[in-house]
Amino acid sequence: MSMSGHSKWATIHRSKEVKDAKRGALFTKLGRAISVAVRQGRGVEDAVAKARSFNMPKDNISRAIERASNTENLQEAMFEGFLPGGVAVMIKTLSDNHLRTAQEVRGILDKLGGKLASKGAVAYLFSVDMKPNFLVEVTDEQMRQRIETILEKIEELDDVQEIFTNYA
């Protein structure tokens, strides 16, 4: 086998691993959303429909419903923060360990130039349906890259359900 054949295989293998990891993270988030809907007694059909739209296996959906029937202790939390350039961010999470999730979010923000804010420091910048009252346009390309990197890293956290920002 030539080196190029091995390299091509390795590239495909790495690509598949990344794709599988992202898919797994998505299924985890969808499963948690189903569990919350079951516990709240509303929105179950919508959560299941969304999971099916992402081709989540029926077994995963069933397990999420079953977990919710047990005593799993997931709680929603909303974190508020600022990204470079004065961009506001609201991070909706669903976690069995609020402290761990807060530390993960804070770690990403601190490392990459953002800042976790106190409750209410950012929320007023968004309406009831989480639409920003105004957008912050960032024209500096390096700052845009930093913002994109932060948003990607936060999105990769298992406990993060949704991210809302006024970034334009």
Asked if 30 contacts 47 with a C-beta cutoff of 8 angstroms, the reply is yes
In the predicted structure, residue 119 carries a pLDDT above the cut 60: yes
CATH of the domain spanning 75-165, picked from 3.40.50.620, 3.30.56.10, 3.40.50.300, 3.30.70.980: 3.30.70.980
Q: Is 75-165 the same fold as 3-69?
A: no
- What angle separates helix 44-53 from helix 3-40, to the nearest 10 degrees? 170
Say which residue, 93 or 25, is predicted with more confidence: 93
Write the pLDDT tens digit of every residue in 5-26. Answer: 567 777 776 777 778 778 888 8
Q: Which residues contact 140 (CB under 8 A, 6 or more apart)?
A: 85
Instruction: Report the mean per-residue pLDDT for the chain.
Output: 87
pTM of the model: 0.64
Give the rounded percent of residues in the chain with a pLDDT score beyond 90: 54
Write the pLDDT tens digit of every residue in 124-156. Answer: 999 979 999 999 999 999 999 999 999 999 988
Alpha carbons 63 and 49: distance in angstroms, whole number: 15
Q: Taking the domains of the chain in order of start, what are their residue ranges?
A: 3-69, 75-165
Q: Which CATH code is given to the segment(s) 3-69?
A: 1.10.10.200
Q: Could you tell me the pLDDT band of residue 35, with boundaries at 50, 70 and 90?
A: confident
Asked if 46 contacts 67 with a C-beta cutoff of 8 angstroms, the reply is no
